[in-house]
Chains A and B, each alone.
Chain A
Amino acid sequence: MIRKRHHWIVRTTHWVNVVAIIIMVGSGLRIFNAYPAFARKGEMFCCYPFEHKPIPDWLTFGGWLGGARHWHFAMMWVLVVNGLVYLTFIYLHGEWRDLVPRRGDIRDSLQMVKFYTFRRKDHPHQGKHNALQKTAYFLLPVFGALAVLTGIAIWKPVELAPLTAVFGGYVWARYWHFIAMLAIVILSVVHVFMVFAVDPYSMTSMITGNYDPSLSPEARNARPFYHLFPRRARAAAAPPPPAAT
Protein backbone atom coordinates (compact mmCIF):
# COMPACT_ATOMS: atom_id res chain seq x y z
CA MET A 1 0.00 0.00 0.00
CA ILE A 2 2.27 2.74 -1.26
CA ARG A 3 1.15 6.33 -1.16
CA LYS A 4 2.49 9.54 -2.62
CA ARG A 5 3.82 11.47 0.38
CA HIS A 6 5.80 14.41 -1.00
CA HIS A 7 5.09 16.44 -4.13
CA TRP A 8 8.10 16.83 -6.44
CA ILE A 9 8.25 20.55 -5.62
CA VAL A 10 8.59 19.75 -1.92
CA ARG A 11 11.29 17.15 -2.65
CA THR A 12 13.27 19.44 -4.96
CA THR A 13 13.13 22.44 -2.64
CA HIS A 14 14.11 20.18 0.28
CA TRP A 15 17.35 19.04 -1.37
CA VAL A 16 18.17 22.47 -2.77
CA ASN A 17 17.70 23.71 0.77
CA VAL A 18 20.14 21.11 2.10
CA VAL A 19 22.88 22.38 -0.22
CA ALA A 20 21.99 26.04 0.35
CA ILE A 21 21.95 25.74 4.14
CA ILE A 22 25.25 23.83 4.28
CA ILE A 23 26.97 26.45 2.11
CA MET A 24 25.33 29.42 3.87
CA VAL A 25 26.30 28.10 7.31
CA GLY A 26 29.84 27.14 6.24
CA SER A 27 30.58 30.41 4.46
CA GLY A 28 28.87 32.37 7.24
CA LEU A 29 31.13 30.79 9.83
CA ARG A 30 34.15 31.57 7.64
CA ILE A 31 33.03 35.24 7.54
CA PHE A 32 32.40 35.16 11.30
CA ASN A 33 35.96 33.90 11.88
CA ALA A 34 37.36 37.15 10.47
CA TYR A 35 36.04 38.74 13.68
CA PRO A 36 34.63 35.97 15.89
CA ALA A 37 33.05 38.37 18.36
CA PHE A 38 30.08 40.71 18.56
CA ALA A 39 31.40 43.63 20.60
CA ARG A 40 31.72 47.03 18.98
CA LYS A 41 35.37 48.15 19.16
CA GLY A 42 35.99 49.69 22.57
CA GLU A 43 32.99 47.91 24.13
CA MET A 44 32.12 44.56 25.69
CA PHE A 45 29.32 42.27 24.57
CA CYS A 46 27.07 40.78 27.20
CA CYS A 47 25.66 37.70 25.62
CA TYR A 48 28.19 35.54 23.83
CA PRO A 49 30.51 33.44 26.01
CA PHE A 50 33.01 32.64 23.24
CA GLU A 51 34.06 36.15 22.15
CA HIS A 52 37.23 36.04 20.00
CA LYS A 53 37.31 32.24 19.85
CA PRO A 54 37.22 31.22 16.18
CA ILE A 55 35.02 28.41 14.84
CA PRO A 56 37.08 25.30 13.88
CA ASP A 57 38.23 25.58 10.27
CA TRP A 58 36.71 22.26 9.22
CA LEU A 59 33.24 23.67 9.89
CA THR A 60 33.83 26.59 7.53
CA PHE A 61 33.55 26.96 3.78
CA GLY A 62 34.93 29.36 1.22
CA GLY A 63 38.64 29.24 2.12
CA TRP A 64 39.07 32.91 3.05
CA LEU A 65 36.97 35.93 3.97
CA GLY A 66 36.54 37.26 0.41
CA GLY A 67 35.78 33.84 -1.04
CA ALA A 68 33.27 33.05 1.71
CA ARG A 69 31.55 36.41 1.14
CA HIS A 70 31.14 35.64 -2.57
CA TRP A 71 29.57 32.26 -1.72
CA HIS A 72 27.37 33.79 0.97
CA PHE A 73 26.08 36.63 -1.22
CA ALA A 74 25.44 34.29 -4.17
CA MET A 75 23.85 31.43 -2.24
CA MET A 76 21.57 33.80 -0.31
CA TRP A 77 19.50 34.22 -3.49
CA VAL A 78 19.17 30.47 -3.90
CA LEU A 79 18.07 30.17 -0.27
CA VAL A 80 15.52 32.98 -0.56
CA VAL A 81 14.06 31.96 -3.93
CA ASN A 82 13.94 28.30 -2.91
CA GLY A 83 12.26 29.20 0.38
CA LEU A 84 9.67 31.35 -1.35
CA VAL A 85 8.90 28.60 -3.90
CA TYR A 86 8.40 26.12 -1.05
CA LEU A 87 6.23 28.43 1.06
CA THR A 88 4.12 29.49 -1.95
CA PHE A 89 3.64 25.86 -2.92
CA ILE A 90 2.58 24.60 0.50
CA TYR A 91 0.24 27.58 0.81
CA LEU A 92 -1.45 26.98 -2.55
CA HIS A 93 -1.44 23.19 -2.25
CA GLY A 94 -2.76 23.07 1.31
CA GLU A 95 0.22 21.33 2.94
CA TRP A 96 0.58 24.25 5.35
CA ARG A 97 -2.29 22.67 7.27
CA ASP A 98 0.03 19.80 8.26
CA LEU A 99 2.56 22.26 9.68
CA VAL A 100 0.92 25.22 11.42
CA PRO A 101 0.71 24.83 15.19
CA ARG A 102 -2.71 24.11 16.63
CA ARG A 103 -4.25 23.92 20.05
CA GLY A 104 -3.37 20.52 21.43
CA ASP A 105 0.09 20.40 19.86
CA ILE A 106 1.73 21.05 23.20
CA ARG A 107 -0.21 18.18 24.78
CA ASP A 108 0.62 15.92 21.83
CA SER A 109 4.30 16.92 22.01
CA LEU A 110 4.41 15.96 25.67
CA GLN A 111 2.86 12.61 24.76
CA MET A 112 5.58 12.08 22.12
CA VAL A 113 8.26 12.88 24.67
CA LYS A 114 6.62 10.43 27.08
CA PHE A 115 6.60 7.77 24.37
CA TYR A 116 10.26 8.34 23.43
CA THR A 117 11.28 8.17 27.09
CA PHE A 118 9.41 4.84 27.64
CA ARG A 119 6.82 6.44 29.88
CA ARG A 120 4.10 5.62 27.38
CA LYS A 121 3.73 2.29 25.60
CA ASP A 122 1.97 3.06 22.33
CA HIS A 123 2.92 5.65 19.77
CA PRO A 124 0.51 8.60 19.97
CA HIS A 125 -1.86 8.83 17.04
CA GLN A 126 -0.67 11.34 14.45
CA GLY A 127 -1.46 12.82 11.06
CA LYS A 128 1.25 13.24 8.43
CA HIS A 129 3.72 14.29 11.13
CA ASN A 130 3.85 13.86 14.86
CA ALA A 131 3.53 16.94 17.06
CA LEU A 132 7.29 17.31 17.60
CA GLN A 133 7.95 17.07 13.87
CA LYS A 134 5.25 19.62 13.14
CA THR A 135 6.87 22.04 15.55
CA ALA A 136 10.31 21.54 14.00
CA TYR A 137 9.07 21.91 10.41
CA PHE A 138 7.12 25.00 11.38
CA LEU A 139 10.03 26.60 13.21
CA LEU A 140 12.55 25.97 10.45
CA PRO A 141 11.01 28.48 7.99
CA VAL A 142 10.48 30.90 10.88
CA PHE A 143 14.18 30.85 11.77
CA GLY A 144 14.96 30.85 8.03
CA ALA A 145 13.02 34.11 7.65
CA LEU A 146 14.79 35.53 10.73
CA ALA A 147 18.16 34.56 9.26
CA VAL A 148 17.30 36.23 5.93
CA LEU A 149 15.97 39.45 7.50
CA THR A 150 18.85 39.83 9.98
CA GLY A 151 21.21 39.01 7.12
CA ILE A 152 19.80 41.85 5.00
CA ALA A 153 20.00 44.09 8.07
CA ILE A 154 23.75 43.58 8.47
CA TRP A 155 24.39 43.59 4.71
CA LYS A 156 22.87 47.09 4.35
CA PRO A 157 23.01 48.71 7.80
CA VAL A 158 23.03 52.22 6.31
CA GLU A 159 20.76 51.94 3.26
CA LEU A 160 18.23 49.81 5.15
CA ALA A 161 18.84 51.35 8.57
CA PRO A 162 15.18 51.05 9.68
CA LEU A 163 15.37 47.26 9.24
CA THR A 164 18.65 47.12 11.16
CA ALA A 165 17.02 49.20 13.91
CA VAL A 166 14.20 46.63 14.21
CA PHE A 167 16.77 44.09 15.35
CA GLY A 168 18.42 46.51 17.77
CA GLY A 169 21.13 47.97 15.55
CA TYR A 170 24.05 46.39 13.67
CA VAL A 171 25.70 44.60 16.60
CA TRP A 172 22.47 42.96 17.76
CA ALA A 173 21.29 42.19 14.22
CA ARG A 174 24.58 40.37 13.69
CA TYR A 175 23.97 38.49 16.94
CA TRP A 176 20.40 37.48 15.97
CA HIS A 177 21.73 36.40 12.58
CA PHE A 178 24.12 34.08 14.42
CA ILE A 179 21.37 32.79 16.76
CA ALA A 180 19.04 32.11 13.81
CA MET A 181 21.85 30.12 12.16
CA LEU A 182 22.39 28.18 15.38
CA ALA A 183 18.68 27.37 15.65
CA ILE A 184 18.61 26.18 12.02
CA VAL A 185 21.68 24.00 12.60
CA ILE A 186 20.25 22.45 15.77
CA LEU A 187 16.87 21.76 14.14
CA SER A 188 18.59 20.25 11.09
CA VAL A 189 20.89 18.01 13.11
CA VAL A 190 18.00 16.70 15.23
CA HIS A 191 15.94 16.25 12.06
CA VAL A 192 18.62 14.16 10.34
CA PHE A 193 19.19 12.14 13.52
CA MET A 194 15.48 11.37 13.85
CA VAL A 195 15.22 10.38 10.17
CA PHE A 196 17.82 7.68 10.66
CA ALA A 197 16.80 6.77 14.21
CA VAL A 198 13.02 6.64 13.88
CA ASP A 199 11.81 6.81 10.29
CA PRO A 200 14.49 5.76 7.78
CA TYR A 201 11.74 5.11 5.22
CA SER A 202 11.07 8.83 5.10
CA MET A 203 14.47 9.19 3.38
CA THR A 204 13.12 7.24 0.40
CA SER A 205 9.95 9.28 0.46
CA MET A 206 11.95 12.52 0.22
CA ILE A 207 13.71 11.11 -2.88
CA THR A 208 11.00 9.20 -4.79
CA GLY A 209 8.00 10.74 -3.07
CA ASN A 210 6.54 7.33 -2.19
CA TYR A 211 5.82 6.10 1.31
CA ASP A 212 4.31 2.97 2.76
CA PRO A 213 2.07 3.94 5.70
CA SER A 214 2.39 0.43 7.15
CA LEU A 215 6.06 1.28 7.77
CA SER A 216 5.37 4.59 9.47
CA PRO A 217 6.79 5.10 12.98
CA GLU A 218 3.24 5.01 14.31
CA ALA A 219 2.53 1.66 12.60
CA ARG A 220 5.84 0.25 13.80
CA ASN A 221 5.50 1.83 17.23
CA ALA A 222 9.01 3.15 16.63
CA ARG A 223 11.21 4.82 19.16
CA PRO A 224 14.71 6.04 18.20
CA PHE A 225 16.71 3.12 16.76
CA TYR A 226 13.71 0.80 17.16
CA HIS A 227 14.64 -0.92 13.88
CA LEU A 228 17.94 -2.04 15.40
CA PHE A 229 16.12 -3.81 18.24
CA PRO A 230 13.12 -5.48 16.57
CA ARG A 231 12.62 -7.98 19.37
CA ARG A 232 12.14 -5.38 22.05
CA ALA A 233 9.77 -3.40 19.87
CA ARG A 234 7.49 -6.33 19.16
CA ALA A 235 6.49 -6.44 22.80
CA ALA A 236 4.85 -3.05 22.48
CA ALA A 237 1.20 -2.67 21.61
CA ALA A 238 0.64 -2.29 17.91
CA PRO A 239 -2.34 -0.86 16.03
CA PRO A 240 -4.36 -3.30 13.91
CA PRO A 241 -2.68 -4.21 10.62
CA PRO A 242 -3.85 -2.35 7.53
CA ALA A 243 -6.43 -4.01 5.28
CA ALA A 244 -5.00 -6.47 2.77
CA THR A 245 -4.39 -5.06 -0.66
Chain B
Amino acid sequence: MNIDPRKFISINGIDRRDFLLRGSGLVSAVFLAACNSRGPKAADRLLKYAERKNLVIERKLLRHTSMDAVQAGAHDAVNKLPSYFISRTVPVWDESVRGKWALEVSGLVGNPVRLTIEELQQLPQVSNRVNHYCVEGWTAVETWTGVPFTELARLVHADPLAHYVDFQSFDDDYHESWDIESAMHKQTVVAYGLDGKMLEPAHGAPARVYSPVKLGYKNTKYLTKIVFMPKMNGGYWSDAGYEWYGGT
Protein backbone atom coordinates (compact mmCIF):
# COMPACT_ATOMS: atom_id res chain seq x y z
CA MET B 1 0.00 0.00 0.00
CA ASN B 2 1.25 3.45 -0.87
CA ILE B 3 1.25 6.01 1.87
CA ASP B 4 0.30 9.55 1.00
CA PRO B 5 3.43 11.59 1.86
CA ARG B 6 1.25 14.54 2.86
CA LYS B 7 -0.01 12.45 5.73
CA PHE B 8 3.40 12.69 7.31
CA ILE B 9 3.37 16.44 7.09
CA SER B 10 -0.03 17.29 8.39
CA ILE B 11 -2.34 15.25 10.51
CA ASN B 12 -5.41 16.89 11.90
CA GLY B 13 -4.08 20.38 11.40
CA ILE B 14 -0.96 19.90 13.48
CA ASP B 15 2.19 19.57 11.42
CA ARG B 16 5.20 17.63 12.50
CA ARG B 17 7.19 20.65 13.64
CA ASP B 18 4.29 21.83 15.74
CA PHE B 19 3.89 18.43 17.21
CA LEU B 20 7.56 18.05 18.03
CA LEU B 21 7.67 21.51 19.59
CA ARG B 22 4.62 20.95 21.73
CA GLY B 23 5.58 17.42 22.59
CA SER B 24 9.15 18.17 23.58
CA GLY B 25 7.99 21.23 25.53
CA LEU B 26 5.65 19.09 27.57
CA VAL B 27 8.16 16.30 28.09
CA SER B 28 10.99 18.62 29.14
CA ALA B 29 8.67 20.51 31.51
CA VAL B 30 7.83 17.26 33.22
CA PHE B 31 11.46 16.19 33.40
CA LEU B 32 12.63 19.56 34.71
CA ALA B 33 10.02 19.32 37.41
CA ALA B 34 10.92 15.71 38.14
CA CYS B 35 14.68 16.02 38.49
CA ASN B 36 15.74 15.41 42.06
CA SER B 37 14.48 18.77 43.21
CA ARG B 38 11.89 19.61 45.78
CA GLY B 39 9.51 20.42 42.97
CA PRO B 40 8.26 23.83 41.90
CA LYS B 41 8.00 26.42 44.70
CA ALA B 42 4.55 27.38 43.50
CA ALA B 43 3.33 23.94 44.58
CA ASP B 44 4.12 24.58 48.25
CA ARG B 45 0.75 26.15 48.96
CA LEU B 46 -1.04 23.26 47.29
CA LEU B 47 0.98 20.76 49.29
CA LYS B 48 0.15 22.63 52.51
CA TYR B 49 -3.52 22.59 51.52
CA ALA B 50 -3.36 18.83 50.92
CA GLU B 51 -1.67 18.31 54.30
CA ARG B 52 -4.46 20.26 56.06
CA LYS B 53 -7.13 18.16 54.30
CA ASN B 54 -5.27 14.92 55.07
CA LEU B 55 -5.06 15.99 58.72
CA VAL B 56 -8.87 16.29 58.89
CA ILE B 57 -9.28 12.84 57.30
CA GLU B 58 -6.65 11.22 59.52
CA ARG B 59 -8.19 12.63 62.71
CA LYS B 60 -11.58 11.31 61.62
CA LEU B 61 -10.09 7.88 60.91
CA LEU B 62 -8.66 7.60 64.42
CA ARG B 63 -10.62 5.10 66.52
CA HIS B 64 -9.87 4.29 70.13
CA THR B 65 -11.14 0.79 69.36
CA SER B 66 -8.62 0.07 66.60
CA MET B 67 -5.58 -1.53 68.16
CA ASP B 68 -2.18 -2.30 66.79
CA ALA B 69 -1.51 -6.03 66.76
CA VAL B 70 1.79 -7.77 66.15
CA GLN B 71 1.70 -10.33 63.37
CA ALA B 72 2.04 -13.96 64.38
CA GLY B 73 5.64 -15.11 64.09
CA ALA B 74 7.14 -11.62 64.10
CA HIS B 75 10.46 -11.35 65.92
CA ASP B 76 11.41 -8.65 68.42
CA ALA B 77 13.99 -6.15 67.20
CA VAL B 78 15.91 -6.30 70.52
CA ASN B 79 19.40 -4.82 69.84
CA LYS B 80 18.42 -3.98 66.23
CA LEU B 81 16.10 -1.21 67.43
CA PRO B 82 17.72 1.99 66.15
CA SER B 83 18.58 4.69 68.63
CA TYR B 84 17.80 8.28 67.63
CA PHE B 85 18.37 11.58 69.40
CA ILE B 86 19.19 15.07 68.23
CA SER B 87 21.93 15.86 70.76
CA ARG B 88 25.51 15.12 69.77
CA THR B 89 25.80 12.31 72.30
CA VAL B 90 23.27 10.07 73.99
CA PRO B 91 21.31 12.34 76.33
CA VAL B 92 21.78 11.21 79.90
CA TRP B 93 20.11 12.87 82.90
CA ASP B 94 22.96 13.89 85.21
CA GLU B 95 21.57 13.85 88.76
CA SER B 96 24.65 15.54 90.20
CA VAL B 97 23.97 18.61 88.05
CA ARG B 98 20.22 18.66 87.52
CA GLY B 99 18.99 16.97 90.69
CA LYS B 100 16.63 14.04 90.75
CA TRP B 101 14.68 13.48 87.53
CA ALA B 102 10.94 13.98 87.72
CA LEU B 103 8.24 14.15 85.09
CA GLU B 104 6.15 17.31 85.24
CA VAL B 105 2.53 16.93 84.07
CA SER B 106 0.96 20.36 83.84
CA GLY B 107 -0.82 22.89 81.66
CA LEU B 108 -4.61 22.90 81.39
CA VAL B 109 -5.07 20.56 84.34
CA GLY B 110 -6.76 20.77 87.71
CA ASN B 111 -3.97 19.00 89.58
CA PRO B 112 -0.48 19.45 88.14
CA VAL B 113 2.03 16.88 89.42
CA ARG B 114 5.73 16.05 89.43
CA LEU B 115 6.38 12.34 89.36
CA THR B 116 9.68 10.65 90.15
CA ILE B 117 10.47 7.39 88.38
CA GLU B 118 9.40 5.48 91.53
CA GLU B 119 6.08 7.32 91.62
CA LEU B 120 5.53 6.57 87.93
CA GLN B 121 6.14 2.89 88.61
CA GLN B 122 3.53 2.88 91.36
CA LEU B 123 0.83 4.04 88.95
CA PRO B 124 -1.18 1.41 87.01
CA GLN B 125 1.22 -0.37 84.69
CA VAL B 126 0.76 -1.98 81.28
CA SER B 127 3.06 -3.84 78.91
CA ASN B 128 2.23 -3.61 75.20
CA ARG B 129 3.97 -5.73 72.60
CA VAL B 130 3.40 -3.54 69.55
CA ASN B 131 4.85 -2.33 66.27
CA HIS B 132 7.03 0.72 66.03
CA TYR B 133 6.25 2.55 62.76
CA CYS B 134 9.07 4.80 61.59
CA VAL B 135 8.50 7.61 59.12
CA GLU B 136 11.34 6.07 57.10
CA GLY B 137 9.28 2.96 56.45
CA TRP B 138 10.74 0.39 58.81
CA THR B 139 8.92 -1.29 61.66
CA ALA B 140 10.18 -2.94 64.82
CA VAL B 141 8.38 -5.09 67.36
CA GLU B 142 9.08 -4.33 71.01
CA THR B 143 7.38 -4.59 74.38
CA TRP B 144 6.92 -1.24 76.07
CA THR B 145 6.08 -1.02 79.77
CA GLY B 146 4.72 2.06 81.44
CA VAL B 147 1.75 4.11 82.60
CA PRO B 148 -1.20 4.41 80.23
CA PHE B 149 -1.52 8.06 79.23
CA THR B 150 -5.21 7.92 80.20
CA GLU B 151 -4.17 7.21 83.80
CA LEU B 152 -1.97 10.31 83.87
CA ALA B 153 -4.78 12.41 82.37
CA ARG B 154 -7.13 11.16 85.08
CA LEU B 155 -4.55 11.78 87.83
CA VAL B 156 -4.05 15.42 86.86
CA HIS B 157 -7.74 16.11 86.07
CA ALA B 158 -7.11 17.20 82.49
CA ASP B 159 -9.39 20.00 81.35
CA PRO B 160 -11.81 19.10 78.51
CA LEU B 161 -10.52 22.21 76.73
CA ALA B 162 -7.07 20.65 76.44
CA HIS B 163 -7.35 19.45 72.85
CA TYR B 164 -3.59 19.02 72.48
CA VAL B 165 -0.73 17.79 74.54
CA ASP B 166 2.97 18.61 74.23
CA PHE B 167 5.67 16.08 75.08
CA GLN B 168 8.91 17.87 75.99
CA SER B 169 12.37 16.45 76.56
CA PHE B 170 15.91 17.14 77.72
CA ASP B 171 17.26 16.03 74.31
CA ASP B 172 18.11 19.64 73.41
CA ASP B 173 14.82 21.34 72.54
CA TYR B 174 13.13 18.22 71.17
CA HIS B 175 9.38 18.11 71.68
CA GLU B 176 6.33 17.01 69.73
CA SER B 177 2.73 18.04 70.31
CA TRP B 178 -0.16 15.63 69.74
CA ASP B 179 -3.90 15.76 69.31
CA ILE B 180 -5.46 14.65 72.61
CA GLU B 181 -7.40 11.84 70.88
CA SER B 182 -4.20 10.05 69.89
CA ALA B 183 -2.74 10.57 73.37
CA MET B 184 -5.88 9.06 74.95
CA HIS B 185 -5.60 5.92 72.80
CA LYS B 186 -5.36 2.81 74.99
CA GLN B 187 -1.95 1.86 73.58
CA THR B 188 -0.35 5.23 74.36
CA VAL B 189 1.93 4.84 77.37
CA VAL B 190 4.52 6.85 79.20
CA ALA B 191 7.09 4.08 79.02
CA TYR B 192 9.96 3.41 81.43
CA GLY B 193 10.52 -0.21 80.45
CA LEU B 194 11.58 -1.93 77.24
CA ASP B 195 11.57 -5.71 76.79
CA GLY B 196 11.19 -6.33 80.51
CA LYS B 197 14.14 -4.12 81.50
CA MET B 198 14.33 -0.51 82.59
CA LEU B 199 14.57 1.81 79.60
CA GLU B 200 18.17 2.59 78.63
CA PRO B 201 19.52 6.01 77.64
CA ALA B 202 19.78 4.87 73.99
CA HIS B 203 16.00 4.54 73.82
CA GLY B 204 14.86 7.49 75.88
CA ALA B 205 15.54 6.85 79.60
CA PRO B 206 14.25 7.63 82.14
CA ALA B 207 10.84 7.79 80.38
CA ARG B 208 9.40 8.40 76.94
CA VAL B 209 5.99 8.48 75.35
CA TYR B 210 5.25 5.44 73.23
CA SER B 211 2.29 4.70 70.98
CA PRO B 212 1.84 2.63 67.84
CA VAL B 213 -0.78 5.13 66.63
CA LYS B 214 1.96 7.68 66.01
CA LEU B 215 5.06 7.50 63.84
CA GLY B 216 8.34 7.21 65.72
CA TYR B 217 9.27 10.88 65.56
CA LYS B 218 6.10 11.87 67.44
CA ASN B 219 7.08 9.63 70.37
CA THR B 220 9.27 12.01 72.37
CA LYS B 221 12.06 10.35 74.34
CA TYR B 222 13.90 11.69 77.43
CA LEU B 223 10.68 13.21 78.77
CA THR B 224 10.73 16.14 81.15
CA LYS B 225 7.29 17.63 80.75
CA ILE B 226 3.83 16.69 79.51
CA VAL B 227 1.82 19.85 78.97
CA PHE B 228 -1.93 19.87 78.24
CA MET B 229 -2.73 22.69 75.83
CA PRO B 230 -5.73 24.32 74.13
CA LYS B 231 -3.77 24.70 70.87
CA MET B 232 -1.25 22.66 68.93
CA ASN B 233 2.38 23.46 69.53
CA GLY B 234 4.27 22.05 66.54
CA GLY B 235 7.31 19.95 67.29
CA TYR B 236 10.94 19.36 66.42
CA TRP B 237 10.40 17.35 63.22
CA SER B 238 6.97 18.86 62.50
CA ASP B 239 8.54 22.32 62.39
CA ALA B 240 11.33 20.95 60.18
CA GLY B 241 8.75 20.00 57.54
CA TYR B 242 7.41 16.56 58.40
CA GLU B 243 3.64 16.23 58.85
CA TRP B 244 2.51 17.41 62.25
CA TYR B 245 -0.03 14.60 62.63
CA GLY B 246 2.27 11.65 61.88
CA GLY B 247 -0.41 9.08 62.64
CA THR B 248 -0.72 5.48 61.60
Contact = CB atoms under 8 A, between A and B. Distances in A.
| A and B held together in a complex | yes
A71 B76 CA distance: 33
Interface stretch (A90-98, A138-146, A158-166, A179-187): A158-166
B248 A156 contact: yes
Which of B1, B75, B248: most chain A CB closer than 10 A?
Answer: B1
A30 B75 CA distance: 28
B36 A42 contact: no
Nearest to A242: B1
B140 A42 contact: yes
B68 A42 contact: no
B130 to A, nearest CB: 9
Interface in A14-64: 18-19, 22-23, 26, 30-32, 34-35, 37, 39-43, 57-58, 60-64
A61 B34 contact: yes
A219 interface: yes
A228 B245 CA distance: 55
Given A63-B38, A70-B51, A171 B139 contact: yes
A203 B22 CA distance: 12
Contacts of B248: 156-159
A40 B241 contact: no
A69 B137 CA distance: 11
A117 to B, nearest CB: 23
Nearest to B80: A42
Interface stretch (A80-88, A99-107, A208-216): A208-216
A171 to B, nearest CB: 7
A173 to B, nearest CB: 11
Contacts of B243: 66, 69-70, 73
A152 to B, nearest CB: 10
22 contacts: A2-B12, A26-B34, A31-B137, A41-B81, A42-B75, A64-B38, A66-B241, A70-B243, A74-B47, A74-B49, A74-B51, A158-B213, A159-B58, A159-B66, A159-B248, A160-B61, A203-B23, A207-B19, A212-B7, A215-B11, A220-B3, A238-B1
The interface residues of chain A, by DSSP majority, are classed as: helix
Instruction: Kindly list the 5 A-B residue pairs having the minimum CB-CB distance in the complex, ordered from nearest.
Output: A74-B50, A63-B38, A41-B140, A34-B136, A41-B77
Contacts of A160: 61, 66
Interface string B213-243: 1000000000000000000000001001111
A179 to B, nearest CB: 15
Which of B22, B68, B77, B138: most chain A CB closer than 10 A?
Answer: B138
A2 to B, nearest CB: 6
A82 B145 CA distance: 46
A156 B140 contact: no
Contacts of B68: 157-158, 161
A203 B30 CA distance: 17
Nearest to A63: B38
Nearest to A22: B34
A160 B71 CA distance: 15
Contact of A220 (B1, B71, B131): B1
Contact of B139 (A23, A41, A58, A60): A41
B19 A40 contact: no
B50 A70 contact: yes
B21 interface: no
Interface string A223-242: 00000001000000011010
B110 interface: no
A112 B53 CA distance: 47
A17 B221 CA distance: 42
A158 to B, nearest CB: 4
A225 B43 CA distance: 39
A55 to B, nearest CB: 11
